[in-house]
Amino acid sequence: MSSSLHHTLWHGADYNPEQWLETPQVWEDDLRLMNAAHMSSATIGIFSWTMLEPREGEFDFSWMERVFETLAQNGQKIVLATPSGAKPHWMARQYPEIRRVVPERGRQAQQARHNHCPTSPVYRAKVAQINGELARRFGKHEALLAWHLSNEYSGECGCDLCFGAFRDWLRKRYDNDLDKLNRLYWSRFWSHSYSDWDEIDFIDKGVHALGLDWRRFMTHQTTDFMLHELAALRPHSKAPATTNMMGDFTGLDYAAMAPHLDFISWDAYPQWGKGGTGDDDIQTACWSAFHHDFFRALKRQPFWLMECSPGQTNWRDVSKLKAPGVHRLSAWQTVAHGGDAVMYFQWRQSRGSSEKFHAAVVSHEGSEKTRMFGEIAQLGAELEALGEVAGSQTEAPIALVYDFENLWAIANEQGPRNTNKSTQKTALDFYAPLWKGGYGVDVVDSTVDFSSYKLVVAPMLYMLKPQVAERLTEFVRAGGTLVTTYWSGLADEHDLCFLGGFPGPLREVLGLWVEETDTLHAHQTNRIQVGDSQLGLGGEFEARDYCDLVHPESARVLATYACDFYAGRAALTVNDFGAGQAYYVASRNESSFQSEFLTALVHKLELKPAIEADLPTGVVAQKRVRQGREWVWVLNFCGQTQSWTTREEGFEKFEKGEWHALQSGQQHTLPSSGVAILRRSK
């Protein structure tokens, strides 16, 4: 990331002064309120196309020039968006081809947003023109902090242009060799062999490799569109560029897009306060942490939280208010996981249209008197005071593999289980104990370099892309510890099954053969009985959904099934391989198994948590480091006052704007949603 970005922990918001051109008082209030809320940046222009080019070829940048001037004078930096996320009506009417075609081939009506065709030469020309105009005017402005490319790229288009581009992409991918494609698509099945490239129709769900390629292509085409946007900016501007990605969205392979961006940003909308089982906020915190770790690991660099809601959203069935302190907690959790910015959707509530009831820093009431404003202003002051954290890194000895192409492949495959495949839930289940323990985890794509990790956890790695098995094998041979599970090592990147026994090319490192996979009905369970003195793991755990029937070859058996015709057979194994070990979890077990197993493993590997401390359930620590200094956040998600102690020396604690020495062994109280911020020099 460019060093200018590391100036401070940014505090900003999506800002739409063009909605208030007729009310200068609002513009004035905004400037005053931004300073009162300790806002260091504002993101402008995201959906402003018609205000910049009201009619074709007629440009008006005057209001934006005023925004640049006034914000610069007022002390805010600007994140400038390209407007491609919502196309003008005049354009959609004049050039229908820019409107997306739904996969069933109907052209969409012009409406809403985020629905342009990514291939349309007309749309690309229009985007390049407006982006070029923006960059020429503002690209070197001293207040410009970064480019915000479009908004939440997503979706797919099935128009003839996209389809033609897909076929060209296929030709390139398969060396213009249709026989090669037929072979890799296994297309003799159901007589789907293609005799001409033009016969290939992306809508055919029967050919699994085709479905995968269509998704890969949409990532490719969206990335190409994004690069086209960027190319129009670059002749005039060197400011770093990002696009706002989304949590839980797996439609585009973010790992493939990340290398093209200068830094990563994402939009987080965790459901705090959902209540019910009592520990829901802990689960929500875990979901947030997982995504922060995913987005940070995309570049192994600090990321930005480009959007979060200061309070309620307006698009869920039910949106809870954020209880006092929850926003602060959630913001510091972002920073603790490597975030260098906390920014809001949105600065001021719009008066009309679809998002008028979405929370904002400034509500319809219009002043600083609201609870929300007060909390945000307090947080802003704290972020300002802790600017030293910006740019610091996260040490992660653990990688959790979460590969989007693998998710697509599992979603596509029609196997013994076509419901509750729960790949994301499974990833979270393996992630949760590591997060609760305060360990640094990179959530990564399967193609990363594993050599810097001590532990790689790869649940449900159904698809092994080229070289992944080899690199995992090498990782274990060199002393690493690998954990993988049922439904791993079944298919290659074309979704062709491995021959010669599952888990295919992982068979040697795991030292076993998976002959069959039983899948259980919702009302059925099995149990596994664990006894391993090396890990100090014992007891019985419930198994559901998936139970592999395993033949250990060189692997040792650490647990066995208790029920069904496979009672007594291996349910957990470990294989000593080279200088390392590879574990196989054969069944989907209740969460307490993941928790006890992974906790035992990190202790055996002597991995260091963020802080050696007695932390009650729901109180979680995270750490960032830079050249001899470390910062630790102790975050209370459990909804009650808690106390905690550390066994470590040399920490200071940030309180009321100052650092105070912290005694080891001293008990500290953390109120509900409380955050303790510590630092020490090493």
- Residue 370 touches which of ligand GLA, Zn ion, none (CB < 5 to 8 A by kind)? none
Identity of the residue, 76 or 119, whose beta carbon is nearer to Zn ion in the bound complex: 119
- Residue 221 touches which of Zn ion, ligand GLA, none (CB < 5 to 8 A by kind)? none
Place of tokens 């274990």: 476
Kindly identify the residues of this chain, within the stretch 138-177, that bind Zn ion according to CB under 5 A: 157, 159, 161-162
Contacts of 327 (CB under 8 A, 6+ apart): 310, 311, 372, 375, 376, 379
Contacts of 655 (CB under 8 A, 6+ apart): none
**Minimum Å distance from CB 215 to Zn ion?**
15
Kindly identify the residues of this chain, within the stretch 291-310, that bind ligand GLA according to CB under 6 A: 307, 309
- Residue 119 touches which of Zn ion, ligand GLA, none (CB < 5 to 8 A by kind)? Zn ion
Backbone angles phi, psi at 175, to 5 degrees: 50, 35
For the chain, the straight-line distance linking the first and the last C-alpha, in angstroms and rounded, comes to 25
Identity of the residue, 315 or 659, whose beta carbon is nearer to ligand GLA in the bound complex: 315
- Residue 152 touches which of Zn ion, ligand GLA, none (CB < 5 to 8 A by kind)? ligand GLA
- Residue 162 touches which of ligand GLA, Zn ion, none (CB < 5 to 8 A by kind)? Zn ion
Does 151 bind ligand GLA (CB under 6 A)? Our answer is: yes
Spatial separation of the C-alpha atoms in residues 393 and 336, rounded to whole Å: 10
Does 53 bind ligand GLA (CB under 6 A)? Our answer is: no
CA distances from 304 to 245, 263, 307, 398, 474 (A): 10, 8, 9, 22, 34
Spatial separation of the C-alpha atoms in residues 328 and 318, rounded to whole Å: 22
The DSSP line for 523-551 is T--EEEEEEETTTTEEEEEEEEEEEEEEE
**Minimum Å distance from CB 162 to Zn ion?**
3
**Minimum Å distance from CB 648 to ligand GLA?**
39
Separate counts of helices (H) and strands (E) for the chain: 17, 28
Kindly identify the residues of this chain, within the stretch 356-375, that bind ligand GLA according to CB under 6 A: 358
Identity of the residue, 244 or 392, whose beta carbon is nearer to ligand GLA in the bound complex: 244
* Interface map 424-443 toward ligand GLA (x if CB under 6 A): --------------------
Q: Is residue 152 flagged as an active site residue?
A: yes
**Minimum Å distance from CB 241 to ligand GLA?**
17
- Find residue 458's DSSP bridge partners: 484
Identity of the residue, 14 or 442, whose beta carbon is nearer to ligand GLA in the bound complex: 14
If you ran DSSP here, which 8-state letter would residue 99 be given? B
Does 267 bind ligand GLA (CB under 6 A)? Our answer is: yes
Among candidate residues 53, 156, 307, 413, the one labeled active-site is 307
Does 330 bind ligand GLA (CB under 6 A)? Our answer is: no
- Per CB under 6 A, the list member of 30, 53, 152, 382 interacting with ligand GLA is 152
**Helix, strand, coil percent content, the chain, rounded in steps of 5:** 35, 25, 45
- Find residue 646's DSSP bridge partners: 613
Task: Please check whether residue 477 is in contact with residue 510, taking contact to mean a CB–CB distance below 8 angstroms.
Answer: no
**Minimum Å distance from CB 259 to Zn ion?**
25
Does 149 bind ligand GLA (CB under 6 A)? Our answer is: no
Q: Is residue 375 flagged as an active site residue?
A: no
Does 589 bind Zn ion (CB under 5 A)? Our answer is: no
Does 345 bind ligand GLA (CB under 6 A)? Our answer is: yes
The DSSP line for 581-629 is EEEEE-EEE-HHHHHHHHHHHHHHTTPPPSS-EE--TTEEEEEEEETTE
Task: Please check whether residue 147 is in contact with residue 93, taking contact to mean a CB–CB distance below 8 angstroms.
Answer: no
List active site positions. Answer: 152, 307
Residues of the shown chain interacting with Zn ion in the complex, contacts defined by CB under 5 A:
117, 119, 157, 159, 161-162
Which residues contribute to the site for ligand GLA (CB under 6 A)?
151-152, 267, 269, 307, 309, 313, 345, 355, 358
